[in-house]
Structure 1
Amino acid sequence: MTSPRETLQNLAKIGKLKAEPPDQAEFDGLLRSARNRLPDAQNPGLNAESRFSLAYDAAHSLALAALRWHGYRSENRHIVFQILGSTVSLPAAKWRFLDNCHQKRNRALYDGDYEEDEPLIRELIAVAKELQAAVEALGPVEA
Structure 2
Amino acid sequence: MTSDALANLVKIRKLKVEASSLREFDGLVRSALERATDAQNSSLTLASRFTLAYDASHALALAALRAHGYRSEDRYLVFQCLPHTLGWTADQWRILDYCHKKRNLAEYEGHLDVDDPLVMELISVVNMLQQQVPALRTRIV
Question: Which TM-score band applies after superposition, normalised by the shorter structure?
Answer: over 0.9
Is 16-25 or 88-97 further displaced after alignment? 88-97
Consecutive unaligned residues in structure 2, runs of 5 or more: none
Offset from partner CA, 1:81-103 (integer Å, 9 cap, x none): 01100001122111111011000
Native 8 Å contact 2:31 2:56 kept in 1: yes
Q: What percent identity do the matched residue pairs reach?
A: 54
Consecutive unaligned residues in structure 1, runs of 5 or more: none
Native 8 Å contact 1:40 1:54 kept in 2: yes
Equivalent residue, structure 1, for 2:92: 94
Cα deviation for residue 116 of structure 1 reads: 3.5
How large is the RMSD of aligned CA atoms in angstroms? 1.0
C-alpha distance in 2 between matches for 1:48 and 1:96? 21
Indicate the structure with greater helix content.
2
Cα deviation for residue 6 of structure 1 reads: 0.7
Equivalent residue, structure 1, for 2:52: 54
Matching residue's letter, 1:35: L
Cα deviation for residue 110 of structure 1 reads: 1.1
C-alpha distance in 2 between matches for 1:95 and 1:44? 25
Give the TM-score normalised by the residue count of structure 2. 0.96
Cα deviation for residue 134 of structure 1 reads: 1.3
Native 8 Å contact 2:65 2:85 kept in 1: yes
Cα deviation for residue 112 of structure 1 reads: 1.2
Give the TM-score normalised by the residue count of structure 1. 0.95
C-alpha distance in 1 between matches for 2:114 and 2:13? 36
